[in-house]
Amino acid sequence: DTSAYREHRRMMSSDFKFVVIRFDSPNRIGRFGVPCTILFEQGQQCVVQTKKDTKLNHWGKVKILDGDAQGSDGTGGGNSKMHQAEIVEIYGPVGNFEVELLVYQNFFGVLPSRYPEPSSWKLRSEDEESSSVPREDCTNLFVFSIDNASTRDIDDALSVEFDDEPSAEHVESDFNALQLEQEEVQQGEWSCQVCTFLNESGAVQCSMCETKRSLLAGPADVPLVSGNCKLGIHVSDVASRIGGESGLFSWAKERASSAYHHGPVDDGSKDGSVPMLPPTLAHGVLSLNEGQVRPAVTLWLEIKDFKGVRRGHTRTYI
């Protein structure tokens, strides 16, 4: 059911506008006519009739009325013509973060809304999904996401598998690529190209290859990480639970994406995002949450000498 979304699109037709009601303007139109600047319309204005007495500009939603544009003298003539409008809602003063966030959410249609009823979701069960689609078990991999600590809809993650024992050729090539001058080595002014950790004592502990090496050693004695690894890009397999027959599928086609903002999070009511799918799913079974096995679609990239040499994709559990 996409009626709520379509209702918003109807409200965003040419009849409805989001405006700054300019209560501080000295150019009143008649006795109670207040000019308004329309959001994202290159400074175009309209005029509303209100007895509200304040010097603070306010955000509002107005409905443009039919009829002739009114001039600055209130007679319908004049050089500066503005359409009459009717106030639908006043949100609050300009400069208030929560008020302005609400205005922009309304304008772009990303307000928290009433999602389809769970009875229309028609989610595939985990047992149904696991029996119908063969998956590679990758739960042994160390998988990490690049998200803020507050992120709750984690939809993709990475894994990296390095060669255990780089060849002597790669070791020497990697060492030469560092192009270290002898005086820099003596001073300990060197950082690992992998973990960028500077060790002034002349030795470095690389967080990736977990090998301790001396900068003063020769190439054959320095087991630097080679450019060989297998990179996994894991994306939450939403389609494994939501099929084309689901009411959520139609909803997602209309919504198209989630929206993120930096709203307040302390009270728990505004979590910094408006997910495309219901939060119980977006933050729960469809999110790659730590410590939980999740179905994913994984793109594999095999890298040799820092260049991609082979790629493929599989359905996985991570």
Q: What percent of the chain has pLDDT over 90?
A: 23
Same domain, 8 and 63: yes
What average pLDDT does the chain have? 72
By CB atoms closer than 10 A (0-12, 13-18, 19+), residue 89 is: exposed
Q: Is residue 97 one of the residues assigned to a domain?
A: yes
Flag whether 113 is in a domain.
Answer: no
Residue identified by tokens 């990303």 is: 110
- What string of DSSP letters covers 42-66? TT-EEEEE-----SS-EEEEEEEPS
Residues 73, 182: one domain? Answer: no
pLDDT one-digit tens code per residue, 199-215: 444 444 443 333 334 33
On whether both 246 and 141 belong to a single domain, the answer is yes
Confidence of residue 29 (pLDDT cuts 50, 70, 90): confident
Name the residue range of residue 208's domain: 164-226
Q: What is the pLDDT of residue 175?
A: 43
* Lowest-confidence segment of 9-23, 133-147, 197-211, 243-257 by average pLDDT: 197-211
Co-location of 123 and 206 in the same domain: no
**Structural domain count of the chain:** 3
Find the CATH number of the domain harbouring 95. 2.40.50.140
- Which tokens sit at 74? 């209130």
Q: Which of 47, 28, 49, 27 is nearest to 37 (CA)?
A: 47
Instruction: Please report whether residue 237 resides in a domain.
Output: yes
Q: Give the pair of three-digit tokens for residue 100.
A: 């302005």
Which distant-in-sequence residues (6+ apart) come within 8 Å of 285 by Cβ? 241, 294
Q: Which of 198, 226, 254 is the last residue of a domain?
A: 226
Residue with more model confidence, 283 or 172: 283
Instruction: Based on the fold, state whether residues 7 and 97 are members of the same structural domain.
Output: yes
Q: Does one domain contain both 214 and 234?
A: no
Per DSSP, the residues of 220-261 read: GG--PPPS-EEEEEEEE-GGGT--TTSHHHHHHHHH-S-EE-
| Confidence check: pLDDT of 4 > 70 | no
Same domain, 10 and 103: yes
Residue whose C-alpha is closest to residue 111's, from 273, 280, 262, 237: 273
**Are 146 and 178 found together in one domain?**
no
Confirm whether 69 is domain-assigned: yes
Same domain, 15 and 90: yes
**Beta-carbon count within 10 A of 210 CB:** 10
Rounded to whole angstroms, how far apart are CA atoms 23 and 56?
6
In a domain, 63, yes or no: yes
Give domain status of residue 114, yes or no.
no
Model confidence pLDDT, tens digit, residues 249-274: 888 877 777 777 765 543 344 556 77
Over residues 97-108, the mean pLDDT reads 86
Residue 197 pLDDT class (50, 70, 90 cuts): very low
Q: Using one digit for the tens of pLDDT, what is the confidence trace for 207-253?
A: 333 333 433 333 333 343 456 888 999 999 988 888 877 878 888 87
Radius of gyration of the chain (CA): 30
Cα–Cα distance measured from residue 170 to residue 224, given in angstroms and rounded to the nearest whole number: 8
The rounded distance, in Å, linking the Cα atoms of 201 and 110 is: 54
Q: Both 17 and 56 in a single domain?
A: yes
Same domain, 102 and 16: yes
Return the structure tokens found at 10.
């109807």
pTM flag (> 0.75): no
pLDDT higher than threshold 60 for residue 157: yes
pLDDT of residue 130: 60
The CA distance from 274 to 283, in Å, is: 11
Q: How confident is the model at residue 9 (pLDDT cuts 50, 70, 90)?
A: low
Assigned domain for 74 exists:
yes
**Same-domain pairing of 254 and 305:** yes
Select from 226, 242, 259 the last residue of a domain: 226
